[in-house]
Amino acid sequence: MKIFEIVGSDYFKALTGKYQNIFMDCLGIIYNSYRTELSYGVDRESIILLLTDYFEKNSANDIQFEEGQDVFRDSRTKANGFLRKLKGYGWVEFEFDNSGYAKILMPNHSIFYHASTYCDYRTE
């Protein structure tokens, strides 16, 4: 089986774009939250709060993924924007229950990547 049949053609965009370090920090935060959860997946709002805290501490600059797209200025908007991008790139998945409650899941290929590469990834 070929790798892009598993991860999708956009998977590595998070690792190669101008925000690659921020994407890696966000993935580290999600992975560390995910691996400590005993249940299946992590509450989406919990992840948004962790990422918002990260952006409040580490990113005062506005973020714009591509020319002509929205500019993200506040920390919560940045957190939501990066989470949506990670979903679009195939690093995370959203699972919704009947009431619309969302959990963040990491596909096996994302877990494997972090387990083998960033086991002790910092989340300061």
Q: Give me the pLDDT at residue 116, please.
A: 65
Q: Give me the pLDDT at residue 121, please.
A: 45
Q: Give me the pLDDT at residue 119, please.
A: 53
In contact, 79 and 15? CB cutoff 8 Å: no
Burial-class residue 7 by CB neighbours within 10 Å (0-12, 13-18, 19+).
middle
**Predicted TM-score (pTM) of this structure:** 0.81
Q: Give me the pLDDT at residue 79, please.
A: 94
Q: Give me the pLDDT at residue 123, please.
A: 45
Distant-in-sequence, close-in-space partners of 54: CB < 8 Å, separation ≥ 6: 25, 26, 29, 79, 123
Q: Give me the pLDDT at residue 65, please.
A: 81
Q: Give me the pLDDT at residue 76, please.
A: 93
Number of neighbours of residue 41 by Cβ within 10 angstroms:
17
Q: Give me the pLDDT at residue 106, please.
A: 87
Q: Give me the pLDDT at residue 44, please.
A: 93
| Blockwise average pLDDT, block size 10, the chain, 124 residues | 74 85 90 73 92 89 79 90 93 90 85 63 46
C-alpha dihedral sign at 111, 105, 82, 49: negative
